[in-house]
Structure 1
């Protein structure tokens, strides 16, 4: 029996998958990650399908970097009360920053949707909108002195 094609990745699924990577600890490989996604979302995606999505690709690369810098030993260090207090303060600050960034991201997404709709009304194509910005000429310019 052949398995059918997995359903398309929705924005919600991408958000869940990126969230899995944010909380990932231990060894991270595409095979392990795909297995976890299948258990949680009950859909098996290929590495290529996941890697094609910029948010997932970036989150995967960030998780790999974060995990490669983590200590390899399984032993836990004993922390002092001062260290725990500092870690707790950092956690609260990061949670607040995360919350703020989510709100900012939602606002930017709303703004983008508005722009996309208005661009569509004006007949602007995706190719036109994705045209790179012109290069900046940073060479020295000569300023003329006051005229006499």
Structure 2
């Protein structure tokens, strides 16, 4: 079957791919990931296209480390109840932190949209808004002596 070029990766698709990688368990390869993405998004991307996106690349590397590390844990003895309690405690803390960060991110995105709209109303361009900040002179301030 001849396939056309896949549609460009947008932020929504990247979000889905990163979420898939966050929940990945078991063996992870680019080919397996591409197959799952194709079933989810009905689009088949190449490894190169996925690897070019920083968020996808980082999520893939982290998932790969996580699932590789998980394999070595399985070969060790069963964790004690104290270890399980510590792991559960850490998991709860990380879940709470993750929820908080998601909430904070949503608020920041809302603030950004507001600022973008207000800048648009004032006729400010993206280029103007992206102008780098002035360089800060970090030398000691000279104090004038008054006579």
- Fold in common (TM above 0.5): yes
Larger helix fraction of residues: 2
User: Could you say which residue in structure 2 is the equivalent of 1:114?
Assistant: 114
Return the offset for 1:64. 4.8
Return the offset for 1:52. 4.5
Is 1:126 matched up with 2:129? Answer: no
Structure-2 separation of matches of 1:108 and 1:67: 32
User: Could you say which residue in structure 1 is the equivalent of 2:135?
Assistant: 135
Return the offset for 1:85. 0.7
Cα distance change on mapping 1:141 and 1:27 into 2, 3 Å: farther
Structure-2 separation of matches of 1:122 and 1:110: 19
Cα distance change on mapping 1:121 and 1:95 into 2, 3 Å: same
Stretch deviating more after TM superposition (53-62 or 135-144): 53-62
Structure-2 separation of matches of 1:104 and 1:29: 33
Runs ≥4 in structure 1, deviation > 6 angstroms? none
Structure-2 separation of matches of 1:8 and 1:109: 23
Structure-2 separation of matches of 1:84 and 1:57: 31
Cα distance change on mapping 1:86 and 1:29 into 2, 3 Å: same
Return the offset for 1:120. 1.5
Structure-2 separation of matches of 1:130 and 1:38: 36
Where 2:44 maps in the other structure, the secondary structure is coil
User: Could you say which residue in structure 1 is the equivalent of 2:50?
Assistant: 50
Computed over aligned residues only, the root mean square deviation of the Cα atoms, in angstroms, reads: 2.6
**Structure 2: 5+ residue runs without aligned partners?**
none
User: Could you say which residue in structure 2 is the equivalent of 1:41?
Assistant: 41
Matched residue count: 146
Where 2:105 maps in the other structure, the secondary structure is helix
1:42-81 equivalence runs, <5 A:
42-64=42-64, 66=66, 70=69, 73=72, 74-81=74-81
**Structure 1: 5+ residue runs without aligned partners?**
none
Structure-1 separation of matches of 2:64 and 2:26: 10
